Amino acid sequence: MNTVEHSPTEKPIIPYRTIAGGILVAAGAALFLDRYLQTRWLSLLVMPLIGVFLYQWGVRMRHAGLLAAGGLLGGLGFGVLLALNPAVPAPPLLRQAGYALLSLALGCLAVWGGTALTTGRPAWWALLVSGAVGAPGAALVIPPVTALTLAFAVGLGVGLPLLIWGSAVRLYGLVISGCLIAPIGAGVYLAWAAPQEANALLRTGVMLMWFSAGWVLITIFSRLRFNRYAWWPLIPGGILAMVGFGLYVGGDPDNALGIIGNTGSIALMIFGLYLLLMRKGIHH
């Protein structure tokens, strides 16, 4: 296959007429065939075909805009095809939405990977969108679907991409956001998905202790990625942990011995991690 050659410093000339012509031919062919074959699904192929066509031109031209347009249209188009394909039995409405979101997430992931490989400048926004729509999409596809599972998925889907993005480009604000958002969904889920006999005081205590873990993560990642300790997050983290501990024990005093033992184990792991990070600091 012929490729468009251009020097690294020369701005490539985008053949817009060729791209527009190819899009019109693909769309017209699919609609024409569907009119005579009566498949009712060939028409749904128009959008994903356009997306794939734009994406391959984006790869050839190393053009981030074409990659983004192709990935988004392709992902959304394949999602609609999966959700509304008349050739297969229609799944429940929530699962249809989940398929569409998962497909869009894969398209955004393709945008992020394509821009990283072809232009050397990853479209980090695409990774964030991929996690933000893909995680709840997976929660909608995998039963049971509840508000708690969606909260858990959204927290991880938004927090982890922010953490990866901030660590890769060394933006401290994104690292802080990722460390704080990721444990929120886990804390809400683990607190309120407990057995029904657990009271609200105990649940709130568990939730606050999970929230405090995010502040501790800020201190850990500040050393791993920025070669310096940020001790200030331990202040709000410690306050949340103490309040959560008090509410947890107040909700059920019988849990006091168990949580104290678990806290001791966690403290040993944190101290060991501190020693390892200090050792790394000596060598660097």
Q: What is the pLDDT of residues 133-149, one digit of tens each?
A: 999 999 988 888 888 89
More confident residue, 228 or 116: 116
Residues 160 and 140 in one domain: no
pLDDT tens-digit map of 7-31 = 444 556 666 667 777 777 766 776 6
| Average pLDDT estimate for 185-197 | 79
Task: Using the 3D structure, point to which of 144, 163, 189 is the last residue of a domain.
Answer: 144
Q: How many domains are contained in the chain?
A: 2
User: What pTM did the predictor assign?
Assistant: 0.74
Residues 106 and 199 in one domain: no
Report d(CA 131, CA 158) in Å as an integer. Answer: 6
Residues 161 and 127 in one domain: no
| Average pLDDT estimate for 96-122 | 91
Residues 210 and 226 in one domain: yes
Report the share of the chain in percent with pLDDT over 90.
21
Task: Using the 3D structure, point to which of 112, 144, 176 is the last residue of a domain.
Answer: 144
Residues 256 and 166 in one domain: yes
Residues 159 and 127 in one domain: no
Single-letter amino acid, residue 51: G
What is the predicted pLDDT for the residue at 232? Answer: 84
What is the predicted pLDDT for the residue at 267? Answer: 60
Question: Which tokens go with 252?
Answer: 């059920």
Report the chain's mean pLDDT, rounded to a whole number: 78
Instruction: Dump the DSSP string for 228-257.
Output: S---TTHHHHHHHHHHHHHHHHHH-GGGHH
Note down the domain range covering 227.
146-284
Closest to 183 in 3D by CA, of 117, 241, 142: 241
Residues 97 and 179 in one domain: no
What is the predicted pLDDT for the residue at 230? Answer: 79
Contact 84, 99 (CB under 8 A): no
| Average pLDDT estimate for 109-125 | 92
Residues 186 and 266 in one domain: yes
Q: SS3 of 221, please?
A: helix
Residues 140 and 152 in one domain: no
Report the share of the chain in percent with pLDDT over 70.
71
> Sorting pLDDT into bands at 50, 70 and 90, what band is 57?
confident
> Sorting pLDDT into bands at 50, 70 and 90, what band is 284?
very low
What is the predicted pLDDT for the residue at 154? Answer: 93
In this predicted structure, the answer to whether residue 188 has a pLDDT above a threshold of 50 is yes
Residues 128 and 159 in one domain: no
In this predicted structure, the answer to whether residue 216 has a pLDDT above a threshold of 60 is yes
What is the predicted pLDDT for the residue at 114? Answer: 92
Contact 211, 245 (CB under 8 A): no
What is the predicted pLDDT for the residue at 11? Answer: 57
Task: Using the 3D structure, point to which of 144, 177, 206 is the last residue of a domain.
Answer: 144
Residues 114 and 186 in one domain: no
Residues 155 and 269 in one domain: yes
Report d(CA 134, CA 208) in Å as an integer. Answer: 26
In this predicted structure, the answer to whether residue 37 has a pLDDT above a threshold of 70 is no
In this predicted structure, the answer to whether residue 41 has a pLDDT above a threshold of 90 is no
What is the predicted pLDDT for the residue at 81? Answer: 82
Least confident of 32-36, 52-56, 273-277: 273-277
Between CA 264 and CA 273, with CA 270 as vertex, the angle to 5 degrees is 145
> Sorting pLDDT into bands at 50, 70 and 90, what band is 93?
confident
DSSP 8-state assignment for residue 42: S
The residue count for the chain: 284
In this predicted structure, the answer to whether residue 43 has a pLDDT above a threshold of 90 is no
